[in-house]
Amino acid sequence: MDQRPSALEGMEVSSAFWTGKRVFLTGNTGFKGSWLSLWLQQLGAEVTGYALAPSTTPNLFESAQVADGMVSHIADIGDYSKLVGALRNARPDIVFHLAAQPLVRESYRNPLGTFSINVMGTAHVLEAIRQSTSVRVAVMITTDKVYRNNEWFWPYREEDVLGGHDPYSASKAASEVVITSYRDAFLTVQGIAVASARAGNVIGGGDWSEDRLIPDAVRAWSTQQTLPIRRPDAIRPWQHVLEPLSAYLRLAERLWNEPKLAGAYNFGPHTHEAATVRQVVTYAQTAYGAGEVAWGEGTDGPHEAGWLALEIAKARNLLGVEPRWDLAHAVSRTMHWYRRQNEGEAARRLCEDDLAAYTTA
């Protein structure tokens, strides 16, 4: 039986599906979590969030008033009892797990904390789902960096070996093993469809994290400072934040009716659109209209992978998920978001404008 959806079916997120769905979202105060919360609210879902307080000032969660359209618990996924109680009370149909320590360089500074949050935190969420009588679908977000990076020139497929040199990558690879164990040992038998989603290097308005390329550029250029670039020739699968979020929503929709599609999925740009840091910065300079850069030699700081791209054929063929915005457009929209906010426009309105543009593309 052919499991591939039609092109139209695969590309569209269905408001009819999401209206009235009860969704439990960990990490809702983060960059991606805030964007996903806003999108789910637009779709008519009843959203309950569970996350630590925002880790930066400013942050998208507060500036876009994300909490206004949802129930939001400020709490730690490390607190298992509190997590179980919050999930039980929400009685969700669908769980999205985004809560994590998401930064490579921070994982070198705090490896134990990174493993605790990313591995045991994921186990806590899965165990809470196992105790639930309402959940039918869970989408667990990991990263494109879960693969053992061989610095080869082929994109990584879902069947490739997991691994990780830095603690962040290793913790996310370990969380993939935990996800597979819970799916195979418990959740499939309980009728809960569980998938992991591997995406990374997202850009978009409202990210203020440290050690991320676009936020670092905005901070530097808005104060007429020079942006230092450590590894200008590193290649990554860059994408606008709405690309993976659209994929997560579509994945959950498909799992609802076809639980046999449970498993791991890569989400990213087409392989030929993986780009160097230098290319992204050049696009950003053009869109921002200014900005000085100091190009490094690629040797500063701790080890990071030099070349990373994902094979997205599985998501394309089984889910009908295709990238919509190429890199130049993604960077342009991102930099214009920051410029417009700096000129006084409301963050929530800027997000709504990007959502409207993306969903009608």
Q: What is the mean pLDDT of residues 333-342?
A: 97
Per-residue pLDDT, 299: 61
pLDDT at 42 (0 to 100): 97
Q: Look at residue 288 and tell me whether its pLDDT is greater than 50.
A: yes
**CATH 3.40.50.720: does it fit domain 7-359?**
yes
Residue 137's pLDDT is 98
pLDDT score at 152: 83
pTM, two decimals, is 0.95
pLDDT at 5 over 90: no
Per-residue pLDDT band for 307 (boundaries 50, 70, 90) equals confident
pLDDT tens for residues 162-172?
A: 999 999 999 99
Highest-confidence range of 11-25, 240-254, 303-317, by mean pLDDT?
240-254
pLDDT above 50 (res 10)? no
| pLDDT confidence band for 85 (50 / 70 / 90) | very high
Secondary structure string (H, E, C) spanning the chain: CCCCCCHHHHHCCCHHHHCCCEEEEECCCCHHHHHHHHHHHHHCCEEEEEECCCCCCCCHHHHCCHHHHCEEEECCCCCHHHHHHHHHHHCCCEEEECCCCCCHHHHHHCHHHHHHHHHHHHHHHHHHHHCCCCCCEEEEECCHHHECCCCCCCCECCCCCECCCCHHHHHHHHHHHHHHHHHHHHHCCCCCEEEEEECCCEECCCCCCCCCHHHHHHHHHHCCCEEEECCCCCEECCEECHHHHHHHHHHHHHHHHCHHHCCEEECCCCHHHCEEHHHHHHHHHHHHCCCEEEECCCCCCCCCCCECCECCHHHHHHHCCCCCCCHHHHHHHHHHHHHHHHCCCCHHHHHHHHHHHHHCC
Mean residue pLDDT of the chain comes to: 94
- Residue 301: pLDDT band with limits 50, 70, 90: low
Q: Write down the pLDDT at residue 300.
A: 66
pLDDT at 52: 98
| pLDDT at position 12 | 83
- Residues 183-216: tens digit of each pLDDT: 999 999 999 999 999 997 999 999 999 889 999 9
